[in-house]
Copies of this chain bind each other. A is one copy, B any other.
Amino acid sequence: MVKMTIKDIAKEAGVSTATISRVMNNSGYVSEEIKQQVLEVIRKFNYQPNAIARSLKQEKSRSVGIVLPDMTNPYFMKIARSIQHRCFQQGYHLLFIDTEENPEKEREALEFLTEKRVEALILAGTGENKDQIQAISDSGIHVILADRRFSNLKLDTVTEDNIYASKSAIEYLLEKKHTRIGIINGPKTISTARERRQGAIIGLEEAGITPSNEFMFEGDYTRESGIEGIRYFSQLPDRPTAIFSANNEMTFGLYLGLQELRIPLDSIEVVSFGNLEFSSLFHHKLSVIMQNPQELGETIGDLLIKRLNGDADSVQNIILMPHLVPSK
């Protein structure tokens, strides 16, 4: 069974292709009589216009690329889901690519997407490929940076206030009388990690504590590097009594590491960025900085639709506020 084209339908209905097109798109003049007749034929043969041909003619792909570092991290997927919703409503589809935090894969992904002629690009980047991203934006494709930004690029961003949140995380731990606070951070190529570090440092300095390099562990936002982080801290002569962890995956690794090292899970007080699904079942000293990926996604979705509809407002930098949820 082969798909019918507009020509077949035109022949069947005894009218021209233009008339079919007008009926399909509710544009131009068509008499009520012919319209019904055409609709009848369309129904009869279950005709669906070829979106590819339409895209070519209109020079609009009706597609949006979305490049994420980890498709299995619910944080990113919640962002993605909200965006997808919005797009689907408007007839756009999303091309997802998971870079697994690998800049080379990211480069390929961007190439792939421009070839597919996406009209917009949503990116939570690895921090590399800056030039390529700028070039994409310059070529007229709308770019929105999600969660992670680049300095010096004039692009729309929708992010969360990492500095503020990290600062409050540290303040919270200081209030609980911790003075030796270990920090498990992401890679400094990524803006969120840089900002979380910066916020933590501000928090410490305002309390009169000099941040020590010894208490800074640079991971890569993966579970494995959370394990490595706690391995590192546990062998210090003067172990930290609290940890600030910069994302949920590393926090998960941190607990796996504690388990591996046979250290009681509640012997260390933890504040973690990002929602940990299980934290509410957990009776350990785990506080989380609740992010709001859904709101992030909705915000991005709205901005995206505005841009796709040709709203050429100046560059937007939207910053959402996460909030700390203390352990029970």
Q: How far is the CB of A81 from chain B (nearest CB, A)?
A: 5
CA distance A278 to B52 in the complex (A): 44
Q: Which of A51, A98, A111 has the most chain B CB within a 10 Å cutoff?
A: A51
Q: Answer whether A81 and B98 are a contact pair too, CB < 8 Å, given A48-B115, A140-B1, A280-B256.
A: yes
- A78 at interface by CB-CB < 8 Å: yes
B84, B112, B265: which contacts A281 (Cβ < 8 A)?
B265
Report whether A84 and B96 are in contact in the complex, using a CB–CB cutoff of 8 Å: yes
Q: How far is the CB of A133 from chain B (nearest CB, A)?
A: 14
- A117 at interface by CB-CB < 8 Å: yes
Report whether B1 and A139 are in contact in the complex, using a CB–CB cutoff of 8 Å: yes
Residues of chain B with a CB closer than 8 A to A77's CB: 71-72, 77
Which one of A34-42, A53-61, A161-169, A177-185 contacts B? A53-61
Q: How far is the CB of A304 from chain B (nearest CB, A)?
A: 16
Residues of chain B with a CB closer than 8 A to A97's CB: 84, 88
Chain A contact residues, majority secondary structure: helix
Binary contact track A267-302/B, C-beta < 8 Å → 1, others 0: 000000000011011100000000000000000000
> What residue of chain B has the Cβ atom nearest to residue A294's Cβ?
B72
Report whether B74 and A72 are in contact in the complex, using a CB–CB cutoff of 8 Å: yes
Binary contact track A128-139/B, C-beta < 8 Å → 1, others 0: 000000010011
Q: Answer whether A84 and B61 are a contact pair too, CB < 8 Å, given A78-B72, A265-B281.
A: no
A93-130: which have CB < 8 Å to B? 93-98, 109, 111-112, 114-117
- A23 at interface by CB-CB < 8 Å: no
- A50 at interface by CB-CB < 8 Å: yes
Q: How far is the CB of A241 from chain B (nearest CB, A)?
A: 20
Residues of chain B with a CB closer than 8 A to A78's CB: 72
Q: How far is the CB of A258 from chain B (nearest CB, A)?
A: 9
Residues of chain B with a CB closer than 8 A to A95's CB: 93-95
Chain A residues proximal to chain B, CB less than 8 Å: 1-3, 46, 48-53, 55-56, 61, 71-72, 74, 77-78, 80-81, 84, 88, 93-98, 109, 111-112, 114-117, 135, 138-140, 252, 255-256, 259, 265, 277-278, 280-282
